[in-house]
């Protein structure tokens, strides 16, 4: 008997699972056969036309594109445009592969970015088995083996390509370029092949843009037709591609350059070669189940009779059914502030630009790149959009909005609360929230949600709890925040007007002195020169947490508002607490500790009862530090070229788990 | 109807089950994880059927499912020092009784030696000898090169051999099966290993 056979298998489970799969396969086969029957097709068509079938049948596989909701949009990584702006990327279960436009292939796994290889990779895609990266730099098409690290060139383009310069009527110096390769199956790659020729004066002209299939085994290239940016359709066969119509210059004005605003049509070509225009846009990506196409909607015009054109007229990420039946916008955009008025019309640029949607492994989430048109030298964000087949309720919308503002995901916060003035990502900053009261409402009515928001300053002793009421209404079947109002505020701050500075609490009832700083110095045994550097307020516990510092020495302690008593939580050397924050359940405290001579801060977490404390042990960018509602602490990892959020789960005993 | 999926199911169910069982050590958790793995495989059966190595694809799913299981249960047995009563103790405890004529001590020493390996090394042995995967398939799952894996597995086997021989020597010397504390005496101290 072999070693492995000594471990027994659950034969009952094996048989029952097999039976279940067999039943499901039979059902699907039966359904497929039925669908081909003329009578069934007629019946379905009849039902559709008479609107007897509901738009949603309860299974995600039957949800129309227009019926999906956006559950969450969040920044996965912020990439420096000059060093790490991805020219291409591909999603897999092992993480995301990115190819930087300045060279280098990277793998992003959670908050970890690892360089895999040097050199230019350009556009990339990942093979179905996750082993091979196909890349195209324009002049070359090739593969990179993720196991062996071997980089292979399959096709060489440029001016030396055999296809170049053969057009009888073409000018000399034609060159061939390969772009946007994507795996159709394990052996076939679809890509765009462009043939370009230099203009006599300047620039170049695209003489041909073709979609070709490349066979990995034989290196045979088959031309499938005109177009660009193909995306194969899993299961159903065929592919989606972009057809570009560039405006032809008026013959009377032949010297003028062609229009810079071409028309982009997204076309689905089925296995039989039948074509249908399903949307206007670019960068199509077909979902893993072959039912939907995510794409970047490109408006037909950038000129409007208003400086604030409607959402659908701005660039954004959209979802459309493969057959083009329904479509919906997933992202949100606002006009950039530099609209130009000319001849009574406004030329408006969108604030956000979106590029290259890519589906994750399942149909419920996709990635997209985003940059802003007001900060061209800044960061490019890689965003993950999670789809939900039922719209989130009012409380979920408010939670998502609060989280988006904590994370700095303005694009999502604006989607949930259009017209909001977003809180600044500087001082004071929101560092946590908790929903106090949620009142769901029937469809068509308003809902109100009350929230407690925690705010604090960096390097200034100030903490406040603000109670906010959100009013929500429905728009297009989804809840949106209509307005928010401040119900009240309780803040704790340092009052330095007296000879002896004191901590004061300010609320609707007025200002109340809590204790002089000298009492805290005495209770904690600090030097006389120690000054408060940070405060946290724990309203449920009735405690103030205060940090004092003198040079490189710091003390962190609690003050019981009812008893008027102090207790020391920690004494540290070589760092002062620039910020203190408490989890919404007031179980945990986090202190951002900064070396007095400068340098990257660290974060130390304390049990609020003083039972333990633990150092997260990682140098951090302190721009972002917050607790979510369930007590998970988020910090921002700042590495050369990129920033990403790291989540820390801390249990009751102080055991820390870093996610991801 | 996709018969291919059922063919793959029939071909690899036992290996996936044994691999998960070896890693988790609990029958009920194994049943749950294996069910989830094949459920996911069913949903992604097109990709599974098209993969260069469907077996490697399947085991990559199983590996991630086991990791998720540890994350969820916060057991992290693979990274924790072995203590009596810890989840790691359940590993390989499911070995069947020895066949007639087979030495019980040998099995005992093998189990002890396996538990002494670093988590990653133990996983390689599990993938190679419990899951019956080829080196190129393992390389695809753990994202290492084939040559590096061959070298590493060869070293692991030498280490295992030495530990088992030492364990058996002691057993023979004492005339009874070495208990765990003795087995630990001729091997590196069990500590938390991180790859």
Does one domain contain both A527 and A432? no
Structure tokens belonging to residue A427: 């001082």
DSSP A375: -
Does one domain contain both B32 and B121? no
Main-chain phi, psi angles of B163, to 5 degrees: -65, -40
More confident residue, A520 or B181: A520
Residue B88, domain member (yes or no): no
To the nearest 10 degrees (0 to 180), the angle between helices B146-174 and B135-142 is 100
Does one domain contain both B62 and B136? no
- Span A211-249, pLDDT tens digits: 999 999 999 999 999 999 999 998 788 999 999 876 544
Q: What is the pLDDT along chain B (195 residues), one digit of tens a residue?
A: 567 888 889 989 998 988 888 888 778 888 888 988 998 888 888 878 777 788 888 888 888 888 777 776 654 444 444 333 333 434 554 444 444 444 466 777 777 788 788 878 888 888 888 777 888 888 877 777 888 888 888 888 888 888 888 888 877 776 654 444 434 444 433 333 333
Report the 10 Å Cβ neighbour count for A504.
Answer: 17
Chain B from 125 to 144: CB within 8 A of any A CB: 129-132, 136, 139-140, 143-144
Q: How confident is the model at residue A1 (pLDDT cuts 50, 70, 90)?
A: low
Does one domain contain both B113 and B151? yes
Residue A309, domain member (yes or no): yes
Give the Cα separation of A385 and A294 in Å (integer): 11
Rounded to an integer, the average pLDDT of A93-98 is 84
Is A309 strand, coil or helix? coil
Closest CA to A212 of A237, A241, A190: A190
Does one domain contain both A348 and A492? no
Contact A93 B13 (CB under 8 A): no
Least confident among A49-58, A339-348, A488-497, B50-59: A49-58
B53 contact A CB<8A: yes
Distance from CA of A9 to the nearest CA of B (A): 6
Give the Cα separation of A621 and A541 in Å (integer): 30
pLDDT > 50? residue A38: no
Residue A420, domain member (yes or no): yes
* Contacts of A336 by beta carbon, 8 Å cutoff, 6+ apart: A348, A349, A350, A351, A372, A373, A374
Domain boundary at A446, A461, A487, which?
A487
Contact B56 A129 (CB under 8 A): yes
Contact A4 B52 (CB under 8 A): no
Q: State the residue range of the domain holding B108.
A: 99-195
Give the Cα separation of A590 and A545 in Å (integer): 11
Does one domain contain both A159 and A286? yes
- Span B155-164, pLDDT tens digits: 888 888 888 8
pLDDT > 50? residue A169: no
Residues from chain B contacting residue A361 (CB–CB below 8 Å) = 44
Mean pLDDT score of chain A, rounded to an integer? Answer: 83
The confidence score (pLDDT) of residue B46 equals: 80
- Span A272-311, pLDDT tens digits: 888 999 999 999 999 998 999 999 998 877 778 777 788 8
Does one domain contain both A278 and A214? yes
- Span A455-488, pLDDT tens digits: 988 778 899 999 999 999 988 778 999 999 999 9
Residue A54, domain member (yes or no): no
ipTM of the complex: 0.71
The confidence score (pLDDT) of residue A607 equals: 93
pLDDT > 50? residue A126: yes
Domain boundary at A487, A509, A542, which?
A487
Give the Cα separation of A138 and B99 in Å (integer): 63
* Contacts of A296 by beta carbon, 8 Å cutoff, 6+ apart: A281, A282, A283, A315, A316, A317, A318, A354, A355, A356, A357, A368
Residues from chain A contacting residue B9 (CB–CB below 8 Å) = 17-18, 21
Does one domain contain both B16 and B55? yes
pLDDT > 70? residue A562: yes
Give the Cα separation of A116 and A110 in Å (integer): 16
The confidence score (pLDDT) of residue B189 equals: 39
Structure tokens belonging to residue A199: 């203009």
The confidence score (pLDDT) of residue A2 equals: 61
Residues from chain B contacting residue A29 (CB–CB below 8 Å) = 1
HEC secondary structure over B126-150: HHHHHCCCCHHHHHHHHCCCHHHHH
More confident residue, A141 or B53: A141
Cis peptide before A428 (omega within 30 of 0): yes
The confidence score (pLDDT) of residue A426 equals: 65
Does one domain contain both A532 and A440? no
Does one domain contain both B127 and B43? no
DSSP A458: S
Contact A9 B35 (CB under 8 A): no
The confidence score (pLDDT) of residue A423 equals: 60
The confidence score (pLDDT) of residue A279 equals: 92
Does one domain contain both A443 and A531? no
C-alpha A309: how far from its chain's center? 25
Structure tokens belonging to residue A352: 């956000």
Give the Cα separation of B15 and A407 in Å (integer): 44
CATH code of B68's domain: 1.10.1740.10
CATH code of A329's domain: 2.120.10.30
Domain boundary at B75, B108, B140, which?
B75
DSSP A249: P
The confidence score (pLDDT) of residue A625 equals: 81
Contact A17 B38 (CB under 8 A): yes
Least confident among A278-282, A328-332, A621-625, B42-46: A621-625
pLDDT > 50? residue A210: yes
Residue A56, domain member (yes or no): no
Residue A298, domain member (yes or no): yes
C-alpha A562: how far from its chain's center? 45
Residue A390, domain member (yes or no): no
Distance from CA of A186 to the nearest CA of B (A): 7
The confidence score (pLDDT) of residue B73 equals: 63
Does one domain contain both A231 and A271? yes
The confidence score (pLDDT) of residue B177 equals: 44
Closest CA to A261 of A233, A294, A302: A302
DSSP A161: S
Does one domain contain both A106 and A140? yes
Closest CA to A328 of A281, A270, A378, A258: A281
Give the Cα separation of A458 and A513 in Å (integer): 22
Nearest to A128 among B15, B51, B96 (CB): B51
Residue B104, domain member (yes or no): yes
The confidence score (pLDDT) of residue B130 equals: 77
Does one domain contain both A459 and A591? no
Nearest CA in chain A to B42: A21
Residues from chain A contacting residue B99 (CB–CB below 8 Å) = 1
Closest CA to A90 of A35, A163, A148, A143: A143
Does one domain contain both A275 and A359? yes
Number of domains within chain A = 4
Q: State the residue range of the domain holding A646.
A: 488-659
Least confident among A55-59, A509-513, A550-554: A55-59
The confidence score (pLDDT) of residue A160 equals: 59
Does one domain contain both A262 and A301? yes
Give the Cα separation of B16 and B39 in Å (integer): 13
The confidence score (pLDDT) of residue B195 equals: 31
Most confident of A51-65, A311-325, B22-36: A311-325
HEC secondary structure over A91-145: EECCEEEEEECCCCEEEEECCEEEEEECCCCEEEEECCCCCEEEEECECEEEEEE
Q: How confident is the model at residue A609 (pLDDT cuts 50, 70, 90)?
A: confident
């Amino acid at each position: 008997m072999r070693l492995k056979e000594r471990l027994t298998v659950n034969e009952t489970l094996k048989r029952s699972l097999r039976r279940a799969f067999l039943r499901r396969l039979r059902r699907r086969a039966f359904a497929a056969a039925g669908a081909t029957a003329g009578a069934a097709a007629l019946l379905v068509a009849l039902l559709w036309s008479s609107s007897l079938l509901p738009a949603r049948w309860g299974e995600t596989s039957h949800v129309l594109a227009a019926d999906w909701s956006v559950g969450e949009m969040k920044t996965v990584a912020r990439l420096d445009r000059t060093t790490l702006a991805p020219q291409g990327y591909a999603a897999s279960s092992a993480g995301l592969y990115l190819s930087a436009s300045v060279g280098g292939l990277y793998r992003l796994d959670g908050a970890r970015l690892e360089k895999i290889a040097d050199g230019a990779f350009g556009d990339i895609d990942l093979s179905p088995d996750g082993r091979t990266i196909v890349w195209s730099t324009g002049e070359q098409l090739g593969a990179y083996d993720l196991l062996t690290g071997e980089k292979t060139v399959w096709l060489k383009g440029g001016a030396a390509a055999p296809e170049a310069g053969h057009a009888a009527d073409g000018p000399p110096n034609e060159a061939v370029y390969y772009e946007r390769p994507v795996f159709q199956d394990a052996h076939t790659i679809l890509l765009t092949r462009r043939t370009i020729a230099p203009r006599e004066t300047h620039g170049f002209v695209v003489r041909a843009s073709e979609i070709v299939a490349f066979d990995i085994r034989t290196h045979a290239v088959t031309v499938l037709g005109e177009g660009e940016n193909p995306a194969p359709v899993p299961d159903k066969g065929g592919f989606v591609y972009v057809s570009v119509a560039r405006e032809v210059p008026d013959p009377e004005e032949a010297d003028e350059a062609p229009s810079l605003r071409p028309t982009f049509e997204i076309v689905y070509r089925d296995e039989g070669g039948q074509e249908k225009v399903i949307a206007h846009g670019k960068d199509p990506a077909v979902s893993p189940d072959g039912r939907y196409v995510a794409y970047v909607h490109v408006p037909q015009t950038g000129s409007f009779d208003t400086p604030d054109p409607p959402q659908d007229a701005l660039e954004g990420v959209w979802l459309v059914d493969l057959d083009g039946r329904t479509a919906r916008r997933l992202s949100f955009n606002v006009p950039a502030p530099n609209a130009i008025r000319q001849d009574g019309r406004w030329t408006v640029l969108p604030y956000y630009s979106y590029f290259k949607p890519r589906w994750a492994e399942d149909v419920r989430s996709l990635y997209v790149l985003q940059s802003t048109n007001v900060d061209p030298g800044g960061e490019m964000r890689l965003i993950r959009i999670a789809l939900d087949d039922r719209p989130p309720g009012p409380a979920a919308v408010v939670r998502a909005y609060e989280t988006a503002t904590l994370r700095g995901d303005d694009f999502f916060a604006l989607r949930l609360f259009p017209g909001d003035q977003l809180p600044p990502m500087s001082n004071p900053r929101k560092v946590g929230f908790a929903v106090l009261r949620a009142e769901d409402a029937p469809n068509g009515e308003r809902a109100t949600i009350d929230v407690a928001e925690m705010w604090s300053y960096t390097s200034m002793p100030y903490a406040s709890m603000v109670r906010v009421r959100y009013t929500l209404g429905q728009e297009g079947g989804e809840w949106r925040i209509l307005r928010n109002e401040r119900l009240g505020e309780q803040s704790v701050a340092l009052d330095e007007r007296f000879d002896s500075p004191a901590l004061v609490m300010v609320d609707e009832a007025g200002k109340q002195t809590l204790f002089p700083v000298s009492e805290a110095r005495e209770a904690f045994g600090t030097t006389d020169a120690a000054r408060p550097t940070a405060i946290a307020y724990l309203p449920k516990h009735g405690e103030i947490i205060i940090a004092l510092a003198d040079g490189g020495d710091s003390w962190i302690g609690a003050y019981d508002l009812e008893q008027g008593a102090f207790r020391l939580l920690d004494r540290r050397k070589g760092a002062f607490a620039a910020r203190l924050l408490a989890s919404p359940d007031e179980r945990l405290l986090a202190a951002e500790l900064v070396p007095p001579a400068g340098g990257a801060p660290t974060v130390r977490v304390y049990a609020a009862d003083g039972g333990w404390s633990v150092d997260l042990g990682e140098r951090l960018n302190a721009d972002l530090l917050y607790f979510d509602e369930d007590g998970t602490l988020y910090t921002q990892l700042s590495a050369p070229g990129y920033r990403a959020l790291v989540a820390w789960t801390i249990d009751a005993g102080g055991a820390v788990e870093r996610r991801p | 109807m996709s018969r291919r999926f059922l063919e793959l199911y029939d071909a690899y169910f036992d290996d996936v089950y044994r691999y998960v069982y070896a890693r988790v050590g609990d029958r009920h958790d194994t049943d749950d994880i294996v069910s989830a793995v094949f459920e996911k495989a069913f949903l992604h059966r097109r990709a599974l059927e098209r993969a260069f190595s469907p077996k490697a694809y399947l085991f990559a799913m199983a590996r991630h499912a086991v990791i998720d299981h540890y994350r969820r249960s916060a057991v992290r047995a693979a990274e924790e020092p072995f203590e009596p009563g810890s989840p790691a103790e359940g590993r390989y405890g499911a070995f069947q009784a020895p066949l007639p004529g087979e030495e019980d001590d040998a099995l005992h020493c093998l189990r002890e030696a396996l538990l002494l390996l670093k988590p990653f090394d133990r996983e390689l042995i599990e993938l190679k000898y419990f899951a019956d995967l080829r080196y190129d398939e393992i390389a695809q799952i753990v994202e290492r090169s084939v040559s590096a894996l061959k070298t590493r597995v060869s070293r692991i086997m030498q280490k295992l051999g030495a530990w088992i021989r030492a364990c058996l020597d002691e057993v023979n010397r004492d005339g009874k099966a070495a208990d765990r504390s003795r087995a630990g005496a001729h091997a590196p101290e069990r500590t938390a290993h991180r790859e």
